[in-house]
């Protein structure tokens, strides 16, 4: 569902400016001419502008990994939506599980970031997902429901059209343990149903829902074959042009 498949690379806290530019140059070659798939990369803040320059004339979009909700002021260490916009970002990852786990982000903070991003025309990649414990306790769907409702609170239909959802089960991130296509599909379908209930059938069918968590060239095809999986948010495998390009070229497999 959801239109053009969307593969995004989350580089996390990896790559200096020079390393980031090297990787982008390789990537441009590795995925040149590819059609029918949207691609974005999310380097760390320090490399955004330099990568934006490298991306001139390329179809690869730029994403940031977080943002602060205030426009400007005395918020040492934070980065505003306008700063990201000017650095060339089209997308911004919001509510990644590492932010929730290590930096205490709540659904309410995620919601504030969503509104701030959308207010400036940045498209959120809105991350949700359950921990292993929550899954084992049978709470997957209630956790997802809470995250969806909390993160999207008060967002209108027009705003929702700019949102990409990323389902990333925490137990699958960086662990090499991918959710099976069936496990992922089950949750993706649930997310789409929740969105339909909050918004409309049309919005739910159009929203792109990425899967994230140990995506590799080996497992991407099986995931993308699922009806409700519209793309992937790729961490570790996005740090090498060769593996990321293979994932982006999943249709050729």
Give the nearer residue to ligand PGA in terms of CB position, either 199 or 211: 211
Number of residues that bind ligand PGA (CB under 6 A): 13
Stretch that binds ligand PGA, among 53-61, 64-72, 108-116, 235-243 (CB under 6 A): 235-243
Residues 5, 81, 151, 236: which binds ligand PGA (CB under 6 A)? 236
For ligand PGA, the binding residues in 151-180 under the rule CB under 6 A are 168, 173-174
71 binds ligand PGA (CB under 6 A): no
Give the nearer residue to ligand PGA in terms of CB position, either 81 or 235: 235
State yes or no: is 168 an active-site residue: yes
234 binds ligand PGA (CB under 6 A): yes
What's the chain look like in SS3? Answer: CCCCCEEEEECCCCCCHHHHHHHHHHHHHHCCCCCCCEEEEECCHHHHHHHHHHCCCCCCEEEECCCCCCCCCCCCCCCCHHHHHHCCCCEEEECCHHHHHHCCCCHHHHHHHHHHHHHCCCEEEEEECCCHHHHHCCCHHHHHHHHHHHHCCCCCHHHHCCCEEEECCHHHCCCCCCCCHHHHHHHHHHHHHHHHHHCCHHHHHHCEEEEECCCCCCCHHHHHCCCCCCEEEECHHHCCHHHHHHHHCHHHC
38, 54, 61, 96: the active-site residue: 96
State yes or no: is 78 an active-site residue: no
How far apart are CB 238 and ligand PGA at their closest, in Å? 7
212 binds ligand PGA (CB under 6 A): yes
Give the nearer residue to ligand PGA in terms of CB position, either 160 or 223: 223
Which residues of this protein are in contact with ligand PGA, per CB under 6 A? 10, 168, 173-174, 212-215, 233-237
Q: Which residues are catalytic?
A: 96, 168
């Amino acid at each position: 569902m959801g239109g053009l498949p969307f593969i995004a690379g989350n580089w996390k806290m990896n790559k200096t400016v020079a390393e980031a530019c090297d990787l982008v140059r390789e990537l441009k070659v590795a995925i040149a001419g590819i059609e029918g798939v949207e691609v974005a990369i999310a380097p760390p803040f320090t490399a955004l502008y330099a990568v934006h320059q490298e991306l001139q004339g390329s179809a690869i979009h730029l994403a940031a990994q977080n943002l602060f909700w205030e426009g400007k002021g005395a918020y040492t260490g934070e980065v505003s939506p306008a700063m990201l916009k000017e650095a060339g970002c089209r997308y911004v990852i919001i509510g990644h599980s590492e932010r929730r786990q290590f930096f205490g982000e709540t659904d309410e903070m995620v919601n504030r970031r969503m509104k701030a991003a959308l207010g400036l025309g940045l498209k959120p990649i809105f991350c949700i997902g359950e921990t292993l414990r929550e899954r084992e306790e049978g709470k997957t769907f209630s956790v997802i429901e809470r995250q969806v409702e909390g993160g999207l609170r008060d967002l209108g239909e027009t705003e929702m059209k700019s949102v990409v959802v990323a389902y990333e089960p925490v137990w699958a991130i960086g662990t090499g343990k991918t959710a099976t296509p069936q496990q992922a599909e089950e949750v993706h379908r649930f997310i789409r149903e929740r969105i339909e209930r909050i918004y409309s059938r049309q919005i739910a069918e159009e929203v792109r829902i990425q899967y994230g968590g140990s995506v590799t060239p080996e497992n991407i095809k099986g995931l993308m074959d699922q009806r409700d999986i519209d793309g992937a948010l790729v961490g570790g495998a996005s740090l090498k042009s060769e593996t990321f390009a293979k994932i982006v070229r999943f249709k050729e497999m």
